[in-house]
Chains A and B, each alone.
Chain A
C-alpha cells in the first residue's frame, strides 16, 4: 500500500470553496432589517439555490473535482438568466432581484473560470494514479 503524502491545498480548489461559502453566506441578506445595507434581495427559492449550489461549489473544492465546479458555475449562470427573465416578464419566481443576478453572475463566471483550469501535470489527481 502506498502511503498517502499530504499535499498543501491547491489555490484553485480553495477558490471553489471560498466562492461556494460566499454563496451560502449571502443568505444573511434575507434579513430585511439590514435596510439600505441589504445589497441583494434573497428569499424563498433563491435561498435554496444559494445554499444548494454553494454547497456543490464547496464540495467541488474539497473533493478537488473541477468538473463539479464548472457544473456549479453553470448552475449559478443559469439561475442569473432565470432571474433576468423573471424580472423582464414582471414576475418574481425566485424572490430575488437584479442585484442577486449580478452576484450569481460573478460566482458563476468565477467557478467556470477556476473549474475549467486544467490541473498542472505534476499535481496529484484526487483519485491517485491511473
Chain B
C-alpha cells in the first residue's frame, strides 16, 4: 500500500495509522497548518543559535582578566560543577586549549543556526543540537540564577525537530529529498537519511 492510500484509508476509517503505514509515509504531519508550525519552530530554534553566535568572538573568545563571554560561561563548569568528570575535562583539557575549543563552539553553533534555518540535513543537525544542549547544560546548570528548564527545553526542542524531520516542511530537505531519492549514490543516500 502506498502512503497516500494509507492516509486516505485512515481518514475514512478515522483510525490511527499502524506502525507499518507510518513507516511508508513520507512524514507524520498531515495538516498544512501543522507543517507550517513545525517550520516556524525550526526557524525559531535556528534563530536561537544565530542570535547567540554574536558573543562567540574570536580570537580570544572572552579569555582574559576579567574573563568574559564564552570563557566566563565555560568556567562555570568548574566553579559550579554539574558532573565531576566533565568539570575535570573542562579544567584540564578545554581551558588550557581554549582558542581551539572557542573556534569549535563557534563553528558548531554558527552551523546549527545556518542549517536549521534553511532546513538542510535537519535531522543530523538536530542531533548535533541535542549534543550541544547537553554540553551547555553541563557547564551552566548549577550556575547562579539559571533556570534548568531552559536547558531541558532546548534539548527537547531539538529532539522534536529530529523526530518530526522538521526540514521537510518549508525547508530544503522537503525540496531536495525527491532528487536524492531518485539517485543511487552514496552521498544521496546519506543526505536522504539525515534529512
B-binding residues in A (CB < 8 A): 11-12, 14-15, 19, 39-41, 84, 87-88, 97-99, 101-103, 105-107, 109-110, 113-114, 117, 120
Q: Would you call B172 and A114 a contact (CB within 8 A)?
A: yes
- Cα–Cα, bound, A14→B114 (Å): 19
Q: Would you call A98 and B110 a contact (CB within 8 A)?
A: yes
- Cα–Cα, bound, A3→B40 (Å): 41
- Given contacts A11-B175, A113-B120, A113-B176, is CB(A103)–CB(B114) below 8 Å? yes
B171-184 interface code vs A (CB 8 A; 1 in, 0 out): 01001100100100
Q: Would you call B58 and A103 a contact (CB within 8 A)?
A: no
- Given contacts A19-B118, A105-B114, is CB(A98)–CB(B172) below 8 Å? no
Q: Would you call A102 and B49 a contact (CB within 8 A)?
A: yes
Q: Would you call A88 and B179 a contact (CB within 8 A)?
A: no
Chain A residue nearest to B174 (CB atoms) is A11
- Cα–Cα, bound, A1→B50 (Å): 52
User: Is chain B's binding surface mostly helix, strand, loop or mixed?
Assistant: helix
Q: Would you call A114 and B176 a contact (CB within 8 A)?
A: yes
Q: Would you call B118 and A107 a contact (CB within 8 A)?
A: yes
Q: Which residues of B contact A12 (CB under 8 A)?
A: 175-176, 179
Say how far B104's CB is from chain A's closest CB, in angstroms: 14
Per a CB cutoff under 8 Å, which of A15, A97, A98, A120 touches B175? A15
- Given contacts A11-B175, A15-B175, is CB(A98)–CB(B54) below 8 Å? yes
- Cα–Cα, bound, A102→B55 (Å): 12
What are 30 A-B pairs with beta-carbon distances under 8 A? A11-B175, A14-B175, A39-B50, A40-B50, A41-B54, A84-B58, A87-B57, A88-B59, A97-B54, A98-B56, A99-B51, A99-B52, A99-B54, A102-B50, A102-B110, A102-B113, A103-B50, A103-B117, A105-B110, A105-B111, A105-B114, A106-B50, A106-B118, A109-B114, A109-B118, A109-B120, A110-B118, A110-B172, A113-B120, A113-B176
- Given contacts A98-B57, A117-B179, is CB(A109)–CB(B115) below 8 Å? yes
Interface contacts beyond A97-B54, A102-B53: sample of 18 additional A-B pairs, CB < 8 Å, sorted by A: A15-B175, A19-B118, A84-B58, A87-B57, A99-B50, A99-B52, A99-B53, A101-B110, A102-B110, A102-B111, A102-B114, A106-B113, A106-B120, A107-B118, A109-B115, A113-B172, A114-B175, A117-B176
